[in-house]
Amino acid sequence: MSSVLHTPEQGGDHPMEHSNYLVYHGLLLPRAVHSQDSLQYAENFQVQDEDIFVVTYPKSGTTWMQEIIPLILSGGDLTPVHTIPNWDRVPWLEETRTSLVIDKMRCPRVFVTHLPYHLMPRSFFSSKAKVIYVTRNPKDVAVSSFYFHKMASFLDDPGLFDKFLNKFLSGQVLFGKWTDHVKCWRNLDLGDRILYITYEEMLQDLKGALVRFSRFLNRELTLEALEKVAEHCSFNNMKNNTMSNYSLVPEDIMDSSKSPFLRRGMKKCRTPFTV
């Protein structure tokens, strides 16, 4: 199989391809957590019928879902989210750590991914694996992504917000254009294998969202468990959970003094916009 990365000989002339980023099928990915091996691993990954994929465009509620889904599957038992970092608890399919933790994962396995539909593993399309697709208002996505770039040393400094916004709108950001990502996961022949929800719906009625998730995954929660999961998945509780707030990541990689990873939670994130 040919290389999945765009080397210069393969037309890897993306304007932002350099030491911080690699280009994969035209999409920018951070080299810090992606490699040729990890992307080939994702392409050839053997999806099981019981697998669950949470799909998001970056900064659209991924970390929140890494907290929620394990709690639903555990029936409200907080042990997983108090003892396992979220990146190992619900790993990114396309990132380098997945191959290291896959043998420790129990069925049903849960993964998050930012991949567009057509770049999912080949075996995904013939499987019965379920998908939860979370989308978020693009204005909030842009602002959240801007501040994430400020605190993540493995990404380029975003500069002024107007400059970053132009890159966001043109797709010169991680995983390409927001519109392309959302469109490619719509109108698919996945039938009852996929559940669509918005970040805003989750903010407005978290308990209602939890009920939808639990029914979709055939894991009905008791009222007591529902209350417990909703309470734990509040912004303040997640912000104080070292297994979820990225405080375990060294400061020279993610500097929370520049901008905390979990910034505002339940509030809107559009401060840099003037309109």
51 and 109 Cβ atoms separated by less than 8 Å: yes
Count CB atoms within 10 A of the CB of residue 142. 22
- Is-contact 121 112, C-beta < 8 A? no
Q: What is the pLDDT of residues 54-86, one digit of tens each?
A: 999 999 999 999 999 999 999 999 998 888 888
Distance CA 119, CA 114 (A): 10
- The residue type found at 148 is F
Q: Residue 254: its pLDDT value, please?
A: 61
Query: 233 vs 77, 170, 207, 236, 239, CA distance in Å?
Result: 13, 34, 10, 8, 9
CATH top class, domain 8-239: alpha beta
Band of residue 11 on the pLDDT scale cut at 50, 70, 90: very low
197-222 pLDDT, tens digit per residue, is 999 999 999 999 999 999 999 999 99
Residue 248 to residue 228: CA distance in whole angstroms: 25
The structural domains of the chain, with segments of one domain joined by +, span 8-239
For residue range 115-153, what is the model confidence (pLDDT) as tens digits?
999 999 999 999 999 999 999 999 999 999 999 898 888
The Cβ-side half-sphere exposure at 207, using a 13 Å CA radius, reads 8
Catalytic (active-site) positions: 114
The whole-number pLDDT of residue 174 equals 96
